[in-house]
């Protein structure tokens, strides 16, 4: 479970980092200057990343940010689905192991139950391996966006 949490944390951090690079947060500052008519006039200026003309995000900038966000969400859903699959298969295989053990205890001469137990354990290991591969692939996809 520690590897899965690490993978999910890496996906979240990569998504945050990528989004910040594509569309940094805008900071609006007001400058006061005299209008010559007895009142102050406020100018709003934007500070942000390297965007289009006048340093304001363009439609392209927002489209890229949306695409990055969509990919990040899709990879997060893929990891969640893999975790659900792993949990469900683990539950099924654990039940199969329990039933096989109970029957094996009742009928020690039938060694086929040992094969059932070993097959269930192998299935759990393969599912965990698949989960790790899905997590690693999701991280790789997000790292490609960062380049």
Q: Are 129 and 3 in contact (CB under 8 A)?
A: no
- Over residues 19-65, the pLDDT tens digits come to 555 555 555 444 555 555 555 444 444 444 555 556 677 888 888 88
Model pLDDT, residue 98? 97
CA 54, CA 99: separation in Å to the nearest integer? 70
What proportion of the chain, given as a percentage, has pLDDT over 70? 62
Tell me: pLDDT of 144 over 70: yes
Cα atoms in the Cβ-side hemisphere of radius 13 Å centred on 96: 19
CA 21, CA 139: separation in Å to the nearest integer? 17
> What's the whole-number mean pLDDT along residues 5-16?
62
Q: Are 119 and 103 in contact (CB under 8 A)?
A: no
When comparing pLDDT for 108 and 2, which is higher? 108
> What's the whole-number mean pLDDT along residues 61-89?
91
Placement of tokens 């900071």 in the chain: 27
């Amino acid at each position: 479970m520690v590897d899965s949490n690490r993978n999910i944390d890496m996906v979240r951090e990569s998504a945050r980092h990528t989004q910040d690079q594509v569309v940094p947060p805008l900071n609006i500052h007001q400058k006061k200057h005299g209008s010559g008519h007895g009142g102050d006039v406020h100018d709003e200026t934007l500070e942000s990343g390297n965007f289009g003309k006048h340093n304001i995000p363009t439609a392209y900038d927002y489209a890229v940010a949306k695409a990055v966000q969509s990919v990040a969400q899709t990879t997060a859903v893929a990891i969640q689905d893999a975790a659900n699959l792993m949990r469900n298969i683990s539950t099924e295989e654990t039940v199969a192991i329990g039933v096989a053990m109970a029957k094996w205890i009742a009928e020690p001469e039938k060694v086929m139950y040992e094969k059932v137990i070993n097959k269930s354990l192998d299935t759990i290991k393969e599912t965990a391996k698949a989960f790790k591969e899905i997590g690693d692939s999701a991280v790789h996809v997000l790292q490609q966006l960062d380049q």
